[in-house]
């Protein structure tokens, strides 16, 4: 049976913008976050405490956190603003900024791990241990990502068992949720199903999130397959923004508008107002000088 309620984790301000070549001002990012909150989003990945040399677009992480502190939804805890922290340095920055939730990110592919975070999978897990320990001590929640779960830009096919091994490692270390990323959007539903089944041997599906990029137009079909297996947390990006700087050719995440439109049709609750969400997507798309990469958003905007 399909879930009755789905948690959407909004990727727009982080995964969505990290790959933009033109600088996006801190003020525009904050206005986007305000509009996403207004649309009813409760989990908004706000920025990344990664090296500004590696990802210049996230260099304003301190400013973003400082501004978020004055948001009533951050103060009363009604909206979560997770941030990426690849190592202790990143975690310390996030903590100083007031983060209540952080995310560590690993990969199921050795080559992608090297390209993305400059270390092997095993080294990354070692690096996350002190981050997760420190987070626990501070009462900060930790999300874990596994990238390249259905394919790697450098290695091609990835075995579901390898994904399961990395997901298990993150879960065993104390990640409360593990997000499985089809970083380059190559997956199709049967592959997605087999991968989820392999991971579910070690991590309960209630602790899994699916994170699909829509490069080949398969994201909604893959999400539906994951919903059928009991996954009830979906990562998506308003206006279909995004791409990973270390995954050549990958397009944006599945558009939050398209996901919410589908879930509304299925009678699955998200707490998100689609009209306001489309407005938020139109806002950021206009700032970037393009149309939203969302079929549902464009259909609704044309009305």
244 lies in the binding site for ligand HMG (CB under 6 A): yes
Total Cβ atoms within 10 A of residue 72:
9
Taking the least distance from each CB to ligand HMG, the nearer of 73 and 86 is 86
Is 244 among the catalytic positions? yes
- CA–CA distance, 82 with 227 (Å, rounded to integer): 23
Cβ at position 48, least distance to ligand HMG in Å: 5
- Cβ atoms of 269 and 5 within 8 Å: the answer is yes
Cα(38)–Cα(233) distance, integer angstroms: 20
Taking CA atoms, 43 is separated from 7, 32, 236, 250, 259, in Å, by 8, 14, 11, 23, 15
Q: Which is nearer to ligand HMG, 163 or 278 (CB)?
A: 163
Size of the site for ligand HMG (CB under 6 A): 25
Tell me which of 148, 175, 226, 244 is the catalytic residue.
Answer: 244
- 50 is a contact residue toward ligand HMG (CB under 6 A): yes
Residue 116 in contact with residue 154, Cβ under 8 Å? no
Positions that interact with Mg ion (CB under 5 A): 15
175 vs 274, beta carbon nearer ligand HMG = 175
Q: Which residues touch 87 (CB under 8 Å, ≥6 apart)?
A: 127, 131
Among 171, 246, 261, 283, binds ligand HMG (CB under 6 A): 246
Let me know if 252 is exposed, middle or buried by CB neighbors in 10 A (0-12, 13-18, 19+): buried
Using DSSP's 3-state secondary structure scheme, residue 250 falls into coil
Q: Is the CB of 170 or the CB of 274 nearer to ligand HMG?
A: 170
Report the distance separating Cα 203 and Cα 86, nearest Å. 22
CB of 207 to ligand HMG, least distance (A): 17
Minimum CB distance to Mg ion, residue 247 (Å): 8
Binding mask 79-118 for ligand HMG (x = CB under 6 A): -----x-xx-xx--------------x----------xxx
Cα–Cα distance measured from residue 26 to residue 24, given in angstroms and rounded to the nearest whole number: 7
Q: Alpha carbon of 68 to those of 8, 13, 72, 285: distances in Å?
A: 20, 13, 9, 22
Furthest-apart CA atoms within the chain: distance in Å:
52
Q: Which of 50-58, 136-144, 168-176, 291-299 is the region at the interface with ligand HMG (rule: CB under 6 A)?
A: 50-58
Show the binding pattern over residues 119-148: x = contacts ligand HMG (CB under 6 A), - = does not.
Answer: --------------------------x-x-
With CB under 6 A as the contact rule, the residue among 17, 32, 46, 48 that binds ligand HMG is 48
**Contact positions vs ligand HMG (CB under 6 A):** 15, 18, 48-51, 54-55, 84, 86-87, 89-90, 105, 116-118, 145, 147, 181, 183, 211, 213, 244, 246
Active site residues: 244
């Amino acid at each position: 049976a399909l879930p009755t309620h789905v948690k959407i984790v909004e990727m727009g301000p982080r995964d969505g913008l990290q790959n933009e070549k033109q600088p996006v001002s801190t003020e525009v990012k904050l206005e986007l976050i305000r509009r996403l909150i207004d649309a009813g989003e409760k989990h908004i990945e706000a920025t990344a405490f990664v090296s500004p040399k590696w990802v210049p677009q996230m260099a304003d992480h301190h400013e973003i956190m400082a501004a978020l502190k004055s948001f009533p939804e951050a103060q009363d805890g009604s909206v979560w603003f997770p941030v990426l922290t690849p190592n202790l340095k990143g975690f310390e920055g996030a903590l100083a900024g007031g983060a209540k939730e952080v995310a560590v990110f690993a990969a199921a592919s050795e080559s992608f791990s090297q390209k993305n975070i400059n270390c092997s999978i095993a080294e990354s897990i070692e690096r996350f241990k002190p981050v997760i320990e420190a987070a626990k001590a501070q009462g900060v929640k930790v999300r874990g990502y596994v990238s390249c779960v259905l394919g790697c830009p450098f290695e091609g096919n990835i075995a579901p068992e390898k994904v399961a091994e990395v997901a298990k490692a993150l879960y065993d270390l104390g990640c409360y949720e593990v997000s499985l990323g089809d970083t380059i959007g190559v997956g199709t539903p049967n592959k997605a199903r087999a991968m989820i089944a392999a991971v579910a041997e070690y991590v309960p599906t209630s602790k899994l999130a699916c994170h699909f990029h829509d490069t080949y137009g398969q994201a909604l079909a893959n999400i539906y397959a994951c919903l059928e297996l009991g996954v009830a947390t979906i990562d998506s990006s308003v206006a279909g923004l995004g791409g990973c700087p270390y995954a050549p050719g990958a397009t944006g995440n599945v558009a939050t508008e398209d996901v919410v439109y589908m879930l509304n049709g299925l009678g699955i609750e998200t707490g998100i107002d689609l009209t306001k969400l489309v407005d938020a997507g139109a806002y950021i798309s206009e700032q970037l000088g393009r149309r939203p990469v969302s079929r549902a958003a464009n259909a609704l905007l044309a009305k």
